[in-house]
Chain A
Amino acid sequence: MVIPPETQPGPSRRRWLAGALAAGAVHTAARAQFRVEISGVGATQLPIGVAKFREEDKSGQSISGIVRADLERSGVFRIVDSSGDLDETARPNYADWRTRGADALVAGSAARLADGRFDVRYKLWDVVKGADLGGQAFAVLSADLRLTAHRIADAVYEKLTGDKGVFSTRIAYVTRVANRYTLRITDADGEGGQVALNSTQPIISPAWSPDGKQLAYVSFESGKAVVWAQDVLTGERRAIANFRGSNSAPAWSPDGSTLAVTLSRDGISQIYLMDPNGGNLRRITQSSAIDTEPVFTPDGKTIYFVSDRGGSPQIYRVPVGGGNPERVTFNGTYNISPALSPDGKTMAYINRDGGEFKVMTLDLAGGTVRAVSDTVEDESPSFAPNGKLIIYASRAQGRDVLMTTTLDGRIRTRLLSSGVDVREPIWGPFGR
């Protein structure tokens, strides 16, 4: 079996990994709107118990349920029989938990405080070794209970795998029902959705600011494509690119000081840089072709973009300060929608081959190209901030759906939204 090379297991974790499950068939864990599909022989899962948190029913949120679902949805964990009354102060009966097959255990509590907030606590144990791995306590508003459950899942995930979890991050995406569009923000699990923008006209290309406080997007509400930037918390927004023709494809620099956009104001779609308030406009591509879909590298020095200057759309890169663009994609005749991993080493993008649109990854140093999806109408890939997952839009059974996948394509989840077409997902940053 294969564990992604990024995981550096310590001795105790290696023990778990050695107990490989031979999974010839697809394992599905159904939960509300998500289906997890784990493919590949020998996929290993870490068995874990997550007991119901004391008093969580009174809090109004199934905190342990959210933790269980997060861990299971990652494809890395398998939840064992977790029944029992215990909290973070317990001394677990390790023998009992070993009998259930657990290698780790989480328990906790959610007590209501006098001021109406909740005191949420958890503890994590290594059942194999019989050791206390520590825990945390949070004092939170009722509205943040869900977020707290995700934070606990992140902490457990990081402690046991060595990788930072993304359960407490957010995603934004666009929904369409007939002629109603929304720009929606949800937790990374698709739950807890809130609407940032309602419109009867299309919304495309949402882009999170690096601090997660703003969303830039393209709205057609005025009868053409205009770029807006909106404060997520307050809803305050401003049109930052409303020049003649179409204004689109906003992308934030990693330090938040600059936006790249595609403008057709000079008669052809070209890429420009601007300040977040729309000033200091400067054009950075100079071709008579379509140049669009700019995206900054994590170090802020280079912009990757799509151009059909060679006759059909391919991905190029150019230094932010200017210079000759260099072509990056050479497989096939149609490569668009670049997205860069947080470590700058991998580019995800969409390749069209024979009418099929598929998410691919390119190792920027070595040049290896890999297909990571099994669908044929993929759009707009976006990396999770831990670099371990890609979210993208696709189509299944006649519906637009959102998919996540690990970079090796092994573990995929599908977000199904009945009656609602979903598209244009963009993964938010850490640090909400």
Chain B
Amino acid sequence: MKSIRTSLCAALISAWLVGCGSSVKLDDAAPVVDAKANPAGAGAGGANRGATTAQSQVTTVDASKIDPAAAGKLGRVVYFDYDSYALKDEARPLIEGYARMLASSKTRKMVIEGHTDERGGREYNLALGQRRAEAVAKSLVLLGASDSQLEAVSFGKERPAVDGHDEAAWAKNRRAELKDR
């Protein structure tokens, strides 16, 4: 298990080193959706419905099964710096989560839509948005998804999430969105 974990982390390092200056600690990776520690001990849901249900009962969620609700908890958007398609550290948990989901359910498909802010030419921004979407797709594949489960597309600057002509708006528009297909 440990060697697989190490090689996963090595893959993470190579993925996030694209354009990023920071290094990644080997033992840093943590599961996104915790199987929350059940203070009463691990237990599958539904048991112990006898005379009393403990107020402190927690039902374990098994993230290795398909759970559409989990995707909502992950968020759907990855953000980028100006003129950049480099994935930031903050995106890692999200990407890991989706990669895990896709790896465990090979029929599941997603589309990644890349976007830019409003500044600059339409066609160049279409290509830049495409690059952002491809960066996300490549990371998902490195982490276990199949290429055939994904399509990376771009809207360039044509579909801003936020109207506005300042950095606050621009930052919200430089993004990739992950959607189920």
Mark A residues whose CB is within 8 Å of B. 202, 204-205, 220, 223-225, 244-246, 248-249, 262, 264, 267-269, 290, 292-293, 306, 308, 312-313, 334, 336-337, 350, 352, 355, 357, 379-380, 423-424
Contact = CB atoms under 8 A, between A and B. Distances in A.
Given A202-B158, A245-B153, A264 B124 contact: no
Given A225-B126, A267-B134, A245 B120 contact: no
Given A220-B158, A248-B126, A268-B131, A350 B121 contact: yes
A306 B124 contact: yes
A306 B121 CA distance: 11
A334 B154 CA distance: 21
Contact of B123 (A220, A224, A262): A262
Given A223-B153, A225-B153, A292 B127 contact: yes
A220 B113 CA distance: 12
A204 B158 contact: yes
Nearest to B128: A290
Contacts of B180: none
A390 B156 CA distance: 25
Contact of A269 (B111, B120, B127): B127
Contacts of B139: none
Given A268-B134, A352-B120, A379-B122, A202 B127 contact: no
B159 A202 contact: yes
A378 B131 CA distance: 24
A356 B124 CA distance: 16
B130 interface: yes
B94 interface: no
Nearest to A224: B153
Interface of B is mostly: mixed
B67 interface: no
Contact of B152 (A202, A264, A290, A313): A264
B155 interface: yes
Interface residues of B, number: 22
Nearest to B165: A398
B89 interface: no
11 contacts: A204-B156, A223-B111, A224-B151, A224-B153, A245-B151, A246-B154, A264-B154, A290-B127, A306-B121, A306-B124, A312-B83
Given A220-B155, A245-B130, A336-B120, 14 more contacts: A204-B122, A224-B153, A225-B126, A225-B154, A244-B151, A245-B151, A262-B127, A264-B127, A264-B134, A269-B126, A269-B131, A292-B126, A336-B121, A336-B124
A424 B122 CA distance: 9
B127 A379 contact: no
Given A268-B131, A269-B130, A292 B124 contact: yes
A262 B131 CA distance: 13
A290 B153 contact: no
A249 B154 CA distance: 13
Given A268-B131, A269-B131, A290-B131, A249 B155 contact: no
A244 B134 CA distance: 12
A337 B121 contact: yes
The 3 closest A-B pairs by CB, nearest first: A269-B127, A224-B153, A202-B158
Given A220-B155, A246-B153, A264 B123 contact: no
Contacts of A357: 119-121
Contacts of A334: 120
Contacts of A223: 111, 153
A432 B8 CA distance: 62
B18 to A, nearest CB: 12
